[in-house]
Each structure stands twice: as C-alpha cells, then as structure tokens.
A and B are shown apart, each in its own frame.
Chain A
C-alpha cells in the first residue's frame, strides 16, 4: 500500500465540487476523444503539410500500422476493420460536451477567482529558482511532502495553465479547422494554420501532447499517493497524518 492513510486520519477540504465535476466530465470526454481519434487515424495513418494530401502524394510522415481502408499504401496486406462511423459520431459528441464544460468552467474560474488563487503562481513562488527547485524534485521522482497535498506547487500550476489555456483551445481550434461547414464560415481558422492538412497534422500533435500530459499526470498522482489524491478529486477532502493545512490552522 502506497498510502499511510487510515480511517482515523483527519481530513481537510481540498477540491471544490465544481472542479471535481468538470474534472471527471473532461476525463471521460478525453478518453472518448482519444480512442475515437485513434480509430479515425487508422483509416488514413499518413500525415501531410499544407492544404492537400492523399495516397498518391508524399506524406510528411506516416504511422507504420495497417489501415482500415483498402487503398492506403501501408505495406501491410492486412486491412483493419472500419470503425469510423461510430468513432466520428462519438468524437464530435464528446467534443461538444468538453467544449460546453470548458466554457462553463472558464466562466466559473474567472468568477470565483479559482484561476487567480489556485492556478496562477503563488506569491512566494514567482521566481525561476523556486520553479527549478520544484521541477528538480519532480524529475528525481521525489514523493511530495504532505503540505503539497493542500495546494498545487508551481510546476503543477504552470502545467495546468498550459493544458487549460493553450493545449485545449489549440486542440479545439485545429479540430474545428477540419470541419468543412465551419471553415467555410471562418476560413481564417484553417488558413492561419497553413491549410487543411497542416491543421490535421497539428491536431494530431496537440492530441499527442495532451496524452503525454495525461500519462505524466497519472504517474505523479501515483507518486504522490494514488488513494489520497483520488479521494481528494472524488469526495473533495484530503486526509493528512501530521499537520493540517495552513487555512485550517488559521481557523482553529
């Protein structure tokens, strides 16, 4: 057992209900988008740069897997089963849910000061030196101290800000750029990316970065104590063995 948590340990409030609900809706959508996105890539595992590209043109790169369509020159004789119908339906449905959740989350985060107080660097942490120190602890896979369970450290804050305000908007925009109905109305969204195939390739890369985030995020949760961190994101309360968080200390 990773955690030295017993039922007798006291608990402190950690994540707001709103954060927990939006976190898990987004998690569910991310898995749906990841799986269906992979299925869609399987129908044409070749990527291009610029406006156009197809089986008879030179790809920027290709993923060395069999495809789910006959004509793709993969080098394999095997054609995978086609899953694009339901994959596309689910991909766009999950995209709607995650976009609507994101909009409500952004409004809530600004309204309540969640971004300012919990995600922007804490007043004492705004130096590269302190950031580098926290980063070094992450790289050495040092298990964080109990106090870090009560608030995000500077590396977490920077990472979450990048995911929320850079990668997620980018993955949405590069995805929307691929919609023939939407890019007819807003041609700039695909033109600034250098064309349709560039947008598709970027959509793939940004998705890869989000997957990388997910893997590191889960690894860090395991390192920090899986049960206690999951408890905090589900029930909203985190348990501690030694000393309560500063906010509780002030109150008592």
Chain B
C-alpha cells in the first residue's frame, strides 16, 4: 500500500464513521422532533421518513393552492363507495338529523356535536383540488369549519400529537399529525359548491385535508380521537389505508 492509497483509505474510514454517527444523531433528533411517521419500519421506511421529515421541516405552514371560482370543475367526480351499512342508512333516512361527531381522547372536555352545532361554529370556504393517488383530480368549493375550531373548543392537551378520525363505515379511519390537524385549511366540511355536501362526496360530514391525497379526506366522519401515540390504534400504522399498504403521510 503506497502513501496516497493509505491516506485515501484513512479518509474513507473517517468519512464512513462520520456518516454513520451523523445518521444515528439524525435519527435521534428526528424522533424527538416528531419527524418519524408511524410507517417508518420496513424496506420503504427510510424513503417515507425522508419525505415526511422534509415536508415537516420545510413546508409545515404552507397553504394548499386555492383557485378562482371560474376553475371549479363543472363535473366533480364522486369516487367509488362500498355499499352503505345500516347505521348510515338509518341516518340517511332521517335526513342526518341525529348525526353526531364525538371528540374524545387527550382533550380537556370530551364532547359530542350535532351537525347544527358544527354549522354554528365559525365557517370557512375554500376552493381547493381533490387529488387522488390514482392520478385524477377535480376542483370544488368546500365549506365547513376548520378542524382547529372544534379542537380548540374541546381543549387539546399539550402532549397531543395526532388526531385519529373515523367514518361511520367500518374499517375506514385515518389520522393526521397536529401540524395538519391545526392547519387552517383542514376542515370539517358540510357543504360543497352550492349546497349541502352530497352523500357521494362524503355528506353529511367529511374531513378535508387538502395538503394530502384524497384518501386522507375520509367521508362520513363521526368520531375524532386526540392521542399522543398511534401504537394503540389498529396495527399501529395510523390508518386503514396504511394497513392496506399505502403511505400514512399522503402529502408526498
């Protein structure tokens, strides 16, 4: 081994050691600052963690694009739905008069809101795009109350990190971190374009998360649970789609 190659060898060794300890330090910091998604395990974990961490570090407060009224899609697209269960059909028969949204978990005051309670909260309207992971998209005006209004009223405890939300339909639930839960465009939506939110689009109540793909905007919402960990929910991956092999964080 001549001098130059020995020097190169030592430099490569030092670089590798620095790289490995740098990675370990980054992993510890990432965990502490909430940059690790619940699906960070397995062979796709590193890529998913990079995506989520990068988005949280760089784009935490950005707003989804909003469009002029002229760009609202003349024909929106209601995605395929499984046949409704009896609980939904009963609600539908009574015009959703008995629809309730319960808020529990890490909140000071667990509560239950009717649709008229929600409609009396401060409202917001936004013209945003629904973006499906398949590739299609449409623009609509969505009207509702920002999720943070409901969370603020219930009093989220300081250790809260996620909001888990459930559809009335079985096996349909998702979760988002507090950055998205408190984001001004994340909205409990009860109206669309010129009327109440139609059933095919998630009526009477849908959680719209416009900075993530459509599958995070769960339809027919009846329950919110605030938590500090997703481990106790299902398989611990944070949502029905994640359990089906889809990324938990759908902001890409």
Contact = CB atoms under 8 A, between A and B. Distances in A.
B65 interface: yes
B55 A181 contact: yes
Contacts of A182: 55, 59, 251-252
A53 interface: yes
Query: Chain A binding site: helix, strand, loop or mixed by DSSP?
Result: helix
B135 A40 contact: yes
Interface residues of A, number: 41
A196 B139 CA distance: 11
Interface string B42-78: 0010111011000100110011110100010101010
Contact of A86 (B44, B67, B75, B212): B44
B65 A92 contact: no
B210 interface: yes
B212 A89 contact: no
Nearest to B55: A181
A26 to B, nearest CB: 16
Contacts of A69: 80, 134
A5 B238 CA distance: 58
Contacts of B136: 44, 46, 53-55
A196 B251 contact: no
Contact of A180 (B44, B47, B211, B245): B211
Given A90-B44, A181-B59, A44 B65 contact: no
A179 B133 CA distance: 10
Contact of A92 (B48, B132, B211): B48
B252 A179 contact: yes
Given A44-B134, A44-B135, A54-B137, A181 B211 contact: yes
B75 A51 contact: no
A185 to B, nearest CB: 4
Given A93-B44, A180-B211, A184-B65, 7 more contacts: A41-B135, A51-B71, A88-B133, A181-B59, A181-B212, A182-B55, A187-B65
10 contacts: A46-B135, A51-B67, A85-B244, A89-B247, A179-B251, A181-B211, A182-B59, A184-B59, A184-B62, A187-B65
